[in-house]
A = this chain, B = another copy of it.
Amino acid sequence: MASKYVYFFGNGQAEGRSEMKNLLGGKGANLAEMTSIGLPVLPGFTITTEVCTEFYKNERQYPAGLKEEVAANLKQVEALMGRTFGDAANPLLVSVRSGARASMPGMMDTILNLGLNDSTVQGIIAQSGDERFAYDAYRRFVQMYSDVVMGMEKDILEHLLEQKKEERGVHLDTDLTAADWKELVGAFKAKIRETLGQSFPEDPQDQLWGAIGAVFGSWMNQRAITYRKLNNIPADWGTAVNVQSMVYGNMGDDCATGVAFTRDPSTGDNYFYGEYLVNAQGEDVVAGIRTPQPSNLHQKKPVDLPAMEEVLPECYQQLAKIRDILEKHYTDMQDIEFTIEKGKLFMLQTRNGKRTAKAAIKIAVDMVKEGLIDEKTAVLRVQPSQLDQLLHPSLDPKAPKKVVAKGLPASPGAASGAVVFTADEAEAAAKIGLKVILVRVETSPEDIHGMHAAQGILTARGGMTSHAAVVARGMGKCCVAGCSDIKVDYAGESFVAKGNVQIKKGDVVTLDGSTGEVMVGEVPTVPPQLTGDFAILMTWVDQHRKLKVRTNADTPHDSKVAREFGAEGIGLCRTEHMFFEADRIMAVREMILAEDLEGREKALAKILPMQKGDFIGIFREMKGLPVTIRLLDPPLHEFLPQEEKDIEALAKTLGVTNQQLKHKVEFLHEFNPMLGHRGCRLGLTYPEIYDMQVQAIMEAACELVKNEGYTIVPEIMIPLVAAVEELKRLRANAIAVCEDVLAKYGVKVEYLIGTMIELPRAALTADEIATEAEFFSFGTNDLTQTTFGLSRDDAGKFLPFYVESGLLPEDPFVSLDQNGVGLLVQMGCDKGRATRPNIKLGICGEHGGDPSSVIFCHKVGLDYVSCSPFRVPIARLAAAHAVLDAK
C-alpha cells in the first residue's frame, strides 16, 4: 500500500479529522476538524507523524513520494489563496509548525513568514502596502530561521539589532524604520554567512524543506526529550508538521493575536478566559514578553488594561460564538489561538486545554450538569496524578503573613522555600534535599529541569498563558507569574519587592498560587478540604471502581486523615516506627542488647503496653475497617546508635561499658542489611518479639470489642517470607498467642494471618506459601529492590542517569516495573489463588498510590491497593479509570 503522507485542509474541506491525532498530531487534526465544521481557518496541510517515524528509522531520510505530495498540496493552498509560493509579484507566505500527538508547550519550534527573500519581499510590500511591515516580517523570519534551522546563536543578531537602535538613537523596535529593517536584513545575512560559513537560503523551496527538517529534528532535541520523559510520552510517537498560509496580527491596530481558554483553566469557572495583544504576532503572547490584555470585562480584575470585548467588539462576539461551537463540538474545555488581520478573525489552533486539578474537577462536574458529558466521562476527564495538587496543604488562613508582592495566580497551591535564581541551582539544591522557590524574570524551556526541582515558581513577567504558567500547571506546581511588583537582579542574586524589601538568594519566601501572593518567610499550612465538586466527583469514582483503597498508616492521626480521604482500611501498619518514639526506644535497645531470652523478655514486657496502646488508638480510629499490621521488619541494628557520643550515652544509661556496647553494635553490623537478619528471620530467631507484638494486637482488639463494642478483624502480617516453612512456624506461634489472649478475655475476635510478598522467591513459590497465608500483600518496594538487585539507598549514584538516558523508561520505585516486577506480582496472584481461591490480595508498596501502577493492580485482579493517606483519592480515581478505560 502506498502511504499517504500529507493531509490537506482549507475552504471548509479537510482530509483529516480530530480523531486522527496519532497521525496528524493534535494541531493538524484540529485544524482539519475546525475547517470541516466551518470555522475560519486559513488553508494548509499536515505532514504526518509517520513521516517523522520513518525519518528517524531511515537515518534522517524522507520517504519516497513525500516531496511530490507536499508540492501538490502547496499548489492547492496557492489556488485557494490566489497567491504563489516564491512568486515575486504575489507571493504566498507560510508558517511551519510542529504538532505532536500530545500537546508539548514550548518544546517544539515554529517558523513564521516563510517564503520571504529579496524578491518576494517586494510582493509583500505590494500586497500590504506597508514596506516597514514587510521588512520587519522579513527580518523576523531571518532571525527565527537562522536560529531554529541553521543553529545561529540568537544573541549575535540581537546584538546587531541593539547596535542599530543605538546608531539611530532610539529605544524601541517600533521606532526603527523600513530602511533600518532592510539594512538589518542585509547585515543579518552577512553575519550569518560570516559566522556559519554558509549563506541564508534564498530559494523558498530550500527554506520550506529546511524548516520541515528542523521541526522533525527538534523532536529529538534535549528539551523535547526532557518533556517527554517528564510526561511519559514515547519517543516513537513522532511529530507532524503543519504548513499553513500566514496570517498577520501585526499589520496595524485593527490586527491582534490572542490565546484563550473556553473556561478558566485555573479555577474551572465557566466564562471565556483569554488574553490578546493588539498589533502583535502570536509568539509575542506565549513568550510572555509583553503583558497581554484580557479578553473580556469579566476577567479585567487583576490587570487593568482594555479588554478585547471593548477594543474589538465584533471580533470578540464572533470569537465568543466560536467558543460555544467548539465546546459543544469537542465537549471539553478548549485552549484556542487566533489572529485578527485587519479586522478579520482566523483560528490558528484549538486543543483540549490544560487545567489545574481544581479546574478539571469543576469543569467535569459542571459539564455533567450542563448535559455535555456523562458521569463516566467526567471521571475520565480528571487525571489521577493531577489530584496530587489538591491533596496537599494550603496556607493557613489564620496564620499571620507578610505579603510583599502580588502577581497572577498562575498555578494554585502553596509553597515555601529558599530563593534561587537559576534552574541549575534549583536542581542542585533539590538533589541535596533543600526546598527552593525558583525566581525568574520569565522562564523558557531551558528552565524545565529547575521548575521540576523547585517547590514553586515566581516570575516577574508573562501572563496566565506564559511558559511558566502553562508548565507549572502541567506539573501541578504552585506558580505566581507576571509579578510586576518585583525587580529581579540576577547579578546581585536578589530581588526587590514592594516597600523596598530586598530578598537575597537563600532567603525563604512563600508563594500562594491561588491568590498570587508572595510572602516573606515560611507560612504555616492547613490540610486540604475535599468537599463540593471534589466530593461529587468522588461519589461517581467510587461507583465505578472495583479495587478497594486502603492506606499505609502507623499512627491514629494518619489513620484519621486517610479515612477522611476515603481509605477503606489500613493495608500496612508498620510497627517499627512506633519503636523509635523517644519514650520507648530505650526499652527497645535494652531488648536488643539483652544477653539472653530472659533479658529480652523483661524489656519486651515494658514495650507491650505501649504497643497495645498504639493498636487501640489505630483500631478505634478505623472504626472496624480492616487493619493489616506488619510485625517487626528492620534489622535490629537500625535501632542502635552509630555515633560515638550516642553510644557513650546509651552505654551509661544501660550500665554497660562503651566497649561492650560497641562490640554488640559491631556484631549486629551487616554488609547488606537489606538482605540481612530482618523480617521473619528475626521472628524465627527471637520468637518472643513477635509473640509480644501479636499479644499487643490481640489484647488491643479484645479490649475494644469487649469494652467498646467494635467489630475488629486484625490482619497479622509476617514480613520477608521466602519459604513457606517460615510462615508455617510463625503462623503457628501467632495462633497460639492469639488463642491465649482470646481465652484470657473470653471474647470472640476473628483474625487473619498472612504475609508480605516482597521477595522474588515468595512470588515464585506463592502456591506453597498460600497454604499458610490467608492474605498476601505485595511489598513492591522491596520486591523492586530484589528483582532489580537495586538498593534504593544506593541507587542515587546511577538511577537518575538511568532514567535520564532512557536505560529505564521510569524510576521503578515510582512506577511499578510491569515487565519484570509486575510479572512476579502476576505470578504471585495466580499461584496464590490456585492454592487458595479466596485469598485476599493487596499491595502496600509506594506504587499503591501511583496511577499507572494502580491500573496494573486492577488488571492483575488485586482486591485492594494501599498507599499514603494523601494519595488515597488518587488511587480511588485511578481504580475507576482502570475500569472505565478498559471499557
Contacts and interface: CB of A to CB of B under 8 A. Distances in A.
Interface residues of A, number: 48
Nearest to A785: B675
A801 interface: yes
A59 B729 CA distance: 18
Given A684-B807, A764-B824, A675 B677 contact: no
Nearest to A807: B725
A824 B759 CA distance: 13
B819 A672 contact: no
B794 A677 contact: yes
Contacts of A795: 676
Contacts of A685: 797-798, 801
Interface string A707-735: 00000000000001011011001000000
A672 B760 contact: no
A398 to B, nearest CB: 43
Contacts of A768: 819
Interface in A628-679: 670-677
A760 B762 CA distance: 12
A788 to B, nearest CB: 5
A797 B684 CA distance: 12
Contact of A791 (B675, B787, B817): B675
Interface string A816-847: 01011101100000000000000000000000
Q: Interface centre among A671, A672, A768, A790, by most B CB within 10 Å? A: A672
A674 B671 contact: yes
Given A722-B820, A765-B820, A788-B722, A729 B807 contact: yes
A600 to B, nearest CB: 16
Contact of A761 (B671, B673, B729, B817): B817
Contacts of A723: 807-808, 820
A760 B787 contact: yes
A676 B794 contact: yes
A670 to B, nearest CB: 4
B760 A808 contact: no
A779 to B, nearest CB: 10
A789 interface: yes
Nearest to A758: B789
Given A725-B807, A725-B808, A794-B672, A823 B764 contact: yes
B671 A793 contact: yes
Contacts of A758: 789
A786 interface: yes
Contacts of A797: 676-677, 685
A540 B299 CA distance: 94
A672 B793 contact: yes
A332 B729 CA distance: 43
Contacts of A823: 764-765
B791 A782 contact: no
A743 to B, nearest CB: 22
Contact of A824 (B676, B760, B785): B760
Question: Lowest 8 CB-CB distances: which A-B pairs, in order?
Answer: A675-B791, A672-B791, A761-B820, A676-B794, A760-B760, A759-B789, A671-B793, A672-B674
Given A672-B673, A673-B794, A723-B808, 8 more contacts: A675-B785, A681-B798, A723-B807, A759-B787, A759-B788, A759-B789, A761-B788, A786-B787
Interface of A: 670-677, 681, 684-685, 720, 722-723, 725-726, 729, 758-761, 764-765, 768, 782, 785-791, 793-795, 797-798, 801-802, 806-808, 817, 819-821, 823-824
